[in-house]
Each structure stands twice: as structure tokens, then as C-alpha cells.
Amino acid sequence: MSITETSRPGTAGSAPAPRRMSERARAERRLGWWLAAPAFVVMLLVTAYPIAQAVYESLFKYRLTDPDAREFTWLTNYWVILTDGVWWRAVGVTVLITAITVAVEAVLGFALALVMHRALRVLRPLLRTAILIPYAIITVVSAFAWLYAFDINTGFATSWLSWVPGITEDTNVFGSFGSAVAVIILSEIWKTTPFISLLLLAGLAQIPNDLLEAAKVDGATWWQRLYKVTIPNMKAAIMVALLFRTLDAFRIFDNVFIMTQGAQGTEVVSFLAYRQTISRLEIGLGSAVSVLLFLSVVLISVAYIKLFRINLASARGEA
Amino acid sequence: MDERTTLRQKALWWIAGAAVLIYALFPVAWIVSLSFKSAADLGNRQFLPADAVLDNYEMILVGDAQTLFLSALRNSIGIAVIATFLAVLLSTFCAYAIARLEFPGKKVILTTALAVAIFPVISIVTPLFNLWRHIGLYDTWPGVIIPYLSLTLPISIWTLSAFFRQIPWELEQAAQVDGATTWQAFRRVIVPLATPGVFTTAIISFFIAWNDFVYGISLTSTEAARPVPAALAFFTGASQFEDPAGAIAAAAVIVTIPVVVLVLLFQRRIVSGLTQGAVKG
Amino acid sequence: MAAITMRNVVKQYGDGFPAVNDINLDIADGEFVILVGPSGCGKSTLLRMIVGLEDITSGDLFIGDTRVNEKAPRDRNLAMVFQNYALYPHLTVFENIAFPLRLQKLDDAEIERRVHGAAELLELVEHLGRKPANLSGGQRQRVAMGRAIVRQAQAFLFDEPLSNLDAKLRGQMRTEIARLQKRLGITTVYVTHDQVEAMTLGDRVAVLRKGILQQVASPRELYREPVNLFVAGFIGSPPMNFIPAVVSAGELNTPFGAMRLPDSRSPELDGKDIVLLGARPESFDDAAIVSDAVRDHGVTFEANIDVIEWLGNEQYAYVPYEAPDDIRDQLADLERELDSEALRTQLVVGLDTASQIAENSTASLWLDLRQVHVFDPVSGFNMTARDVNVDESAGATAV
């Protein structure tokens, strides 16, 4: 879903009819706006309006249980949050989870995509179906599956993994930060790698076979073909997949809610915002956290898109 | 795939395939297995139940947890279906305009859709929570359906406009030369070609609505509107001292069934829908 | 069936660019007319204006006696075969062919009868139940034709219908289209950029350049008497040679020596310093085997031949030569406009297959001066072209 650089075949070219007389062009323009407007307006209403509201409310000291004490306090809420270790700890945990999941998923997803791309013809539909299951399953269900697999009362996983140093059958996985985060990351990876691998598979499919055959004739080994032909030619697909997964991982919430409720220091940014608002009814403070989370996501996107552009340009230079 | 696949290579591919299968299905198998465990078995810490029983399913479908689960199921189905329908309806108009008509602002719409898609939902939960309480939408179906559109609309617009761009629109002209009116050309040629894309978009959109948790727990408080994922998080056992794991597992299996059925029936289309919206955008 | 008449037809796009400019063309009932020209010359736009897919900015278009400028495509009752066939992917071959009939709400028996008739004609009977995606390129092309002929339309319009087929199939389908048109005797307008199609199919050929009609004539006349450099260069393969010549005292000084044109090919050269001498490859031959009876009608000169192409039934020799820069630039511009690319100035000479001339040798070549044209390099006009239709026997005695 890159709106930035990938060429969009057919926005103007594929519909040959449009160039008509000017009244007709005007009528077409009006029709276009009328058709597109409802969706556009709804999107703005359900996002732009609430975020504007959040920005406004974040400037107040406002607790839902004590509405009369509502008071305009400028940026105090932000100051409170940004000087509080709780926020920075949540950011740290979120970044940690995001970085590890995206890195692992990029590699694992690529491997999965390669397997699906090159697998025997009879296997392909089977693999595609199988891989869609984790994608389509409810995140909460997946979180419960992993929770109960590692839970000290119901889980089988610790006894299966007792050969790993430091793990015994009675290890309380959710009792310490490291192991709890590890399982959260595992469940996130399991659930979302299929998405990344499907995007990468589509990217792989777009590489003309001639190119790989030419490289083969030129004497490139399997690894060289992968590094010098395949990956550079699907850079756009890779970047899009990574951007989406990064943003998605940064918003992680469901798994954490189900598995730890933020215990053992596993609180992530989304959970912090939820806890402020919904549990503690601190609307002002919660709104400020929400706005900060929003800004973080914007920051990540901008960084990626900047990076993405550079990559595209260099990819073009190589071609 | 090379024509000259050796037996050894074939074996390797089957092994790789099996690894993928195990990866994808193992946690699902576990939750299914868990759902068949009896109360006594739950703590046995084995992968398989000692004795497969239907106790958990009885509990949520006809037993103590019945009202809790069935109302959540009803909410989930109703809300997800309506949210999907609305998103597909609105995005069909929008995507048609983007793919077919010449008008300024297309890029703004697609950019907005993208921005909404990457929006952290938790950020808008806080103001919505506040607003909904004021205007009486808190804990109602519309109160959940409306924010669901922020999840389902952007992806629908992207996926559908990618689909619609691939429709050979010149067929509409061919039909007109063949003697069709504008409406006949649309109905007899374009609609049959567009339907698969709309249908695929609906499935993907449904998955997303079905999966939601954040809105579900934040904007509902009772059985009136709480969907299954949120209800699962608040499940307790039949009694306070009983582990709800069995009941949760059974409920999880039930809500996974529709997803699996859709995947089995339409896997090819789902894959093309997911990748088109993303890669060709 | 009906005649198609265009009067001062203009197509102007929003930016003011006239894609089709002031076209006057009468297509008689039952006539097969080709619109030909390089890409971007406006030929497809003109066709789409006839069928009603593009608006006419100004001018009049008649089908039969009816002015149809404002009529919707479906009210013009024309059948069209699109370049990519425009088959409906969700319908079977049968339903694709039946589509226009279904829209006319004919009864099933009649539809069945007509579709089967068309399918038999096009040898599609065993494919009627299949979907277009499962057909070969040639079969798709025939389905598109079938959809056009079941209509009993006023005219057939073809938009480069063979350009997506391979060479062999293209040749076969070309013959089929000619046969079909003769059999049905229906007015046909056929757009192509392929000059072989243009020369073999049409009763008349209309050559377009940048939206302007250059010449409308029979293929024979177009070949023999092109009105300007553009038509001369476009029609014929290999193309006509253009040799720069300096005018001096009734003679033309070319890189291959001085030439004195016979009276029949001598235009008024007063006031011209440089002209372009146009000579088709077949106007040349190996001087060693030219019969004495015609030798005096031409000129013999020495040339360095670097490459020989022997094609079995014909043979070509290539003679690179130096030309003044401005002439070379002009020829390069012309080539670009004709969708080709000239790397060097060279003479392409047709030789009798009996000729023994070898590559990389100096040989004695003969040029039949009765068949040359003289072009004004500034305006591009053919100064030797006759205004009236050529007597068909005039050039036939050559060589």
C-alpha cells in the first residue's frame, strides 16, 4: 500500500474514455466526488475528529469520576507523562517487541515466501491455506493459545522445552519479564508472519524468471541470485511489508492484555493509554498518551517513507 | 519449478512443506485439544486430553456460560457483518470513482485511507469512549460499528481500487458498440467482472472486524454489545474457583470455525486480495 | 450496409491538440478502406469517432444518409473488432458471439442459428462452450470477428485486429478477413500500422500523418505515385531510398555520380539547389545482368557494397554513403516519424537473385531512371507525381 513511489498503472491511462467534452468532464468530476465523498467523510469522522478531540482533552486535567474538577492545564499532562519513567518504560518495551518481531518476521516471512514460491505445485494451495489460518484467526484466540501453552497451570510447553537451559517444567513463564515478553513476541510472530510472507510472495512473483535465468547463465550461485537479483528487485515490496508490520507491531495490545495485563513490566504504550482512560478514567492523561502514541506512529511512517524513497532511488540507479 | 526435480529434492520440499504446516496449525491444534479437556484434565499439562469430552462446549452453549457466550456471539456476528457491509458498500462507490473516473483528489483519498489504516486505534478509543458516553452510543451496536469502519474502510478502499483498476474497462465500450445502453453495459459486463473483487474485499474486511479487541473492550460494558474477543477476556469459570481455560478454549474454537471455513473456501481469492491492495497500490 | 462519409472532421482534446484534423473521406458502400500511419497519427482516434466512442469536435459524420455525430455507439449499428479483442471474460465463446443479439432481444432459436452460422464460418464450433481465457490468440481473434459478423451491422470497423498475433497467424488471418469481407460485401474500415495489411487488404488506403490525411488512393497508386516524402517513405518495404542531389545544368549530381532524368520524370527544377531523388530498391539492379534493351533507360554507377541479404526469392545489397549533414538530419527526422531509426545513410538495392555480387566488393549497379521520383526537400512534395490517376501500364515494362 505504498502511495509514495510505486508507479500506479492505470490511474489515468487505463480508462480511455474520460477525455470528452468539457461539460462531460465536469459531470464526471462531480460524479467522482459524489461517489467518493461518503467513504472519505466517514473515514475523517471516525479518525480525524476523535484525534482532534483527544488533542483538545489532553490539555485538561480531567478525571471522569470527578468532572467538576476539570481544569485547563496547557501541556501539563504531556510534561507529567514525559517525565515519568512509566511512559519511557512502556516505549522501551514496545520498541523492543517491535524491533524483534519485525526483524524475525522479515527473515522468517521471506523463508516462508520462498518455500511457497518454489514449492511443488501440489503443495502450493495446501501451504497457502495453512498459512492463512494464523493470519485470519482472532488475535485474542491466538493469545489464549500461547498463554495456555506456557501457563504454569495448564501448559505443556515448559516440559517440552525443559532441555533448554534455564527452563524446567515448573518455570513460571509469565512470572518474569524476559520470558513473558518472549512468549508475547512468539505469539505476535506466529500470528503476523503470514501477512508479511504473502506480501513478499507477491513481490517474488513479480520478478521475471528471465532475470534469474540470465543471472544463472552469468554464473551466479543460488545465494548470489538471491542477494544480487531477487532482493534488489523486490525492495519496494519488502519496504512496504516492513513498514506495515512495524506500525502494526508498535500498536501491539491484544496479546499483552490477554497474557500479562502489563504485569512484570510488560506494559506497552497502547496498554498504558488504555489503562489511563478505560480503567482509571483519567481522560486528560489518557488522551495525552493517545496523542503521543499517534505522534510516534506518524514519526515511524515518516522515517520509513524517507528511507523508502532513498531506497527506491538507489534501486533505480542500479537498474 | 524445474521439470527435472529429483526424488531427493521432492522429499526436501515435502519436509519444508510439512514444517510450514506444523508452524501454521500447531497452536490451533493445541487450542482445539484444550477445548476437549475435562475440568480434571485442564491441569494435566499434557498436549492431548486424557479423555476427550464435550463439557466445555456444553458449558458455553447450553450451560452456565450460555448467556455470556451466545450474546457475545450474536453481537460479534451482527456487528462484524454490518460493519463489513457498510464498508464494502461505501468503498465500492469510492473505488469505482477512483479506478474509473477522472477527478482531482484521488490521491488525497488514497492517502487518507492509508493514514487511517496506520492509525493507532487506541488513540481514538479515549475520545470515542468519552463522546459515546455523552451521546448514548456507549455499549450499543452502532457505538461499535461506527469505529469499526475506521478499520474496515481503508483496507476495503485500497483492495477494491486495486481490483477495479484491473477490470478491462474498454469492455464497457465494446458492449456499447455491440448495442448496449450505458446501464446494460454496466450490468451485463462490469458487474460480473467486479463481483469477485467486491466479494474478496468483504471477506478480508470481515476478518478485520471479527478480530477487533480494542474497541470491543473499551466501548462496551455489558452483554448488550460486547463481541466475543472482548467477552473472552472477561470470561470466568463456572465458579470462581474453576479455571476458565476450558470454556475459553471451546469459545475460541467456535469463533475460529467461520474463519477457517472462509479460508478453506476462498484461500486463493483472499491471497490475491491481500497482496493486491498492498503491493499494487 | 451503408457508405460512410466524413466532412471536415476534427478531433481536438482538452489541451487544444488536434488529434484528427479536417478529414474529408468518402467510403463507398461495400468498400474496404484502410487507415494507415505510424503510431500517434490519429488513425485509431478517427475509427473511434466513426464508431462513436470519441466525440467529434467539429465536422460531420454520415452513415448512409444519416448524420450520426450525436448518436450513441449502439444507435449507429456498427460492428467493431478491437485490438485486444475485448472479449467478455465471464462469458463463453457462444455467449460472447451472442452478446449483441441478446441485447437485441432476439429469440433463442434465432440466436442459436446465427451464432452457429458464424461459428461454422470461423471454425469455432467445437470451442463454443469454452471461456476466452482458454483460447489461443488466433481463436480469440476469430471470436471477436464472430461477434462482429452476427450483428448484420452497417459496417465493420477493425482496430489493428492482427497486431497481437504472430507473423504466420497474421498472414492467415489477413487472408481470412479479405475472404470474409468479399463474401459479405460489407463496408469495412480497417486501422493498421502494418503496411503489408494496408497494401493487401484495402480497395483504397488512406495515409494519415499527425492527424492530417496525406493521400487516399489504391495500394498500387500509393506505391507508384506517392504524393510526398512521408507517403513514399511509409509505403514499401524495404523503404524507398532518398538520395540527395545537387541540381546543376539539367543534371542531378548525386553521391553516385551525375544523372540525367528522362523527360517523363523531369519536373521543373528552376530555383532548386538540392532535391531528393527517390528510388525504390527494385529500381536498381546488378549492371552485369541488366538486359541491353532497358540499359539505356537507366544509369550505371560504381558502388561499394558492404552487406548482402539473400532471401531466396530476392536479394538486397547495402551501400553506405556520406550525405551532407542537413540532409542526413532531415532523413533521420523522417525515419523517426515513420517509427524507425536510421543509423547511417545507406542505399538499399534490390538485386536479381542471379546476381553474383559479393559482400565487401565494389560493383557496378544500374538504376532505372524511369521509376525515380524527385522530392522537394523543403516541402516534401513529390515533384514528379501526376495529379491524375496513373496509367496502370506505365511502369509495368520496367526491367
The DSSP-derived string for B191-232 is: HHHHHHHHHHHHHHHHHHHHH--HHHHHS--STTT--HHHHH
Residues B39, B55: contact at Cβ < 8 Å?
yes
For chain A, the domain total comes to: 2
For every residue of C374-389, DSSP letters joined together read: EE-TTT-BBTT--SSP
Closest in B115, B150, B214 to A46, CB measured: B150
Same domain, C158 and C98: yes
The rounded distance, in Å, linking the Cα atoms of B152 and B149 is 5
Residue A10 in domain: no
Q: What angle do CA A245, A249, A253 make, to 5 degrees?
A: 145
Contact A2, B281 (CB under 8 A): yes
- Percent of chain B scoring above 70 in pLDDT: 93
Cell matching residue A133: 489460518
Residues of C contacting chain B (CB within 8 angstroms): 51-53, 72-74, 77-80, 82, 84, 86, 88-90, 99-100, 103-104, 147, 151
Do residues C360 and C318 lie in contact, with contact meaning Cβ atoms separated by under 8 Å? no
Tell me: pLDDT of B87 over 90: yes
- In the three-class reduction of DSSP (H, G, I as helix; E, B as strand; rest coil), residue B243 is classed as coil
Q: Phi first, then psi: what are they for A36, rounded to 5°?
A: -85, -25
Confirm whether A19 is domain-assigned.
yes
- Touching subunits of C (3+ CB pairs, under 8 Å) are A, B
Does C53 sit within 8 Å of A25, measured CB to CB? no
In the predicted structure, residue A64 carries a pLDDT above the cut 60: yes
In a domain, A185, yes or no: yes
- CA-CA distance, A271 to B121, in Å (whole number)? 11
- Please enumerate in sequence order all residues whose Cβ is within 8 A of that of C218, keeping only pairs 6 or more positions apart, or say none: C203, C204, C205
Task: Give the Å distances, CA to CA, from A190 to A185, A196, A198, A277.
Answer: 9, 11, 14, 30
Q: Are residues C196 and C55 in the same domain?
A: yes
**Whether residues C214 and C252 fall in one domain:** no
* Range(s) of the domain holding residue B211: 66-234
Q: Is C213 helix (H, G, I), strand (E, B) or coil?
A: strand
Enumerate neighbours of B (3 or more CB pairs within 8 A). A, C
Domain check: are A152 and A266 in the same one? yes
C374: Cβ–Cβ under 8 A, 6 or more apart, which residues?
A: C252, C261, C265, C267, C269, C275, C276, C277, C278, C382, C383, C384
Residue B149 placed within a domain: yes
Mutation site, B102, B163, B178, interface C, largest C CB count within 10 A: B178
The predicted-structure confidence for B127-150, as pLDDT tens digits, reads as follows 888 888 889 889 899 999 999 998
- Residue C266 belongs to domain with CATH number: 2.40.50.140
Average pLDDT of span B231-258 = 79
Give the residue ranges of chain C where pLDDT is below 70: 1, 342-343, 386-399
C131 and C89: one domain?
yes
In chain A, which residues have their Cβ closer than 8 Å to the Cβ of C14? 19, 22, 25
* pLDDT at res. A211: 83
* Whole-number Å distance between alpha carbons of A79 and C173: 79
Same domain for A196 and A174, yes or no, is yes
Residue A158 has pLDDT above 70, yes or no: yes
CB contact C103 to A (< 8 Å): no
How many domains does the structure of chain B reveal? 1
pLDDT confidence bin for A3, thresholds 50/70/90: very low
Cα(first)–Cα(last) distance of chain C, in Å? 44
pLDDT number for residue C116: 93
pLDDT value at position A22? 64
Last residue of a domain, one of A47, A70, A87: A47
Q: Is residue A53 part of a domain?
A: no
Same domain membership, residue C181 and residue C207: yes
Say what the pLDDT of residue A178 is: 85
- In this prediction, residue B277 has a pLDDT band, given cuts at 50, 70 and 90, of low
Question: Contact C13/A20, CB-based, under 8 Å?
Answer: no
In a domain, A43, yes or no: yes
Query: What is the torsional sign of CA A137, A141, A143, A146?
Result: negative
Kindly state whether C289 is in contact with chain A, defined as any CB-CB distance less than 8 angstroms.
Answer: no
Under a CB-based contact definition with an 8 Å cutoff, are residues C73 and C52 in contact? yes
In Å, how far is C53's CA from the nearest CA of chain A? 8
Q: Which of C237, C233, C253, C229 is nearest to C199 (CA)?
A: C237
Kindly state whether residues A250 and A152 are assigned to the same domain.
yes
The residues pairing with C307 across neighbouring beta strands, listed in sequence order, are C318
Residues C250 and C366 reside in one and the same domain: yes
Distance from CA of C209 to the nearest CA of B (A): 26
Say if residue C213 is in the same domain as residue C344: no
Tell me: do C271 and C340 sit in the same domain: yes
pLDDT tens-digit profile of A287-314? 888 888 888 888 888 888 787 664 433 3
Considering the domain architecture, whether residues C196 and C287 belong to the same structural domain is answered as no
Q: Kindly list the residues from chain A whose CB atom is less than 8 angstroms away from the CB atom of residue C13.
A: 19
| Percentage, residues of chain A above pLDDT 70 | 88
Q: Is residue A52 part of a domain?
A: no
Q: Which residue of A has its CA nearest to B172?
A: A17
What's chain A's average pLDDT?
80
Amino acid B132: pLDDT: 87
| B74 occurs within a structural domain | yes
Put residue C105 in one of left, alpha, beta given phi > 0 → left and psi -120 to 50 → alpha. left
Of B171 and A67, the one with more pLDDT: B171
Nearest CA in chain A to C57: A21
Supply the pLDDT for residue B101: 83
Cα(A38)–Cα(A33) distance, integer angstroms: 9
Beta bridge partner(s), residue C205: C34, C217
CATH classification at residue A279: 1.10.3720.10
CATH number of the structural domain spanning residue B102: 1.10.3720.10
User: Do A100 and A248 fall within a single domain?
Assistant: yes
Digit-coded pLDDT (tens) for A203-261: 888 888 888 888 888 778 888 888 888 888 888 778 878 888 888 899 899 989 988 88
Query: CA angle at residue C36 from C34 to C37, to 5 degrees?
Result: 170
Give burial (CB, 10 Å; 0-12/13-18/19+) of C163: middle
Closest CA to B266 of A206, A116, A136: A136
Would you state the pLDDT for residue C373?
92
In a domain, C15, yes or no: yes
Query: 3-state class of A190 per DSSP?
Result: helix
C368 near C264, Cβ under 8 Å?
no
Handedness of CA C251, C254, C257, C261 (dihedral sign): negative
What is the extent of the structural domain holding A168?
Answer: 58-318
Q: Can you give the pTM of this predicted structure?
A: 0.79
Instruction: Quote the domain boundaries for residue C18.
Output: 4-224
Nearest to B269 by CA among B193, B205, B190, B204: B204
Q: Are residues C257 and C213 in the same domain?
A: no
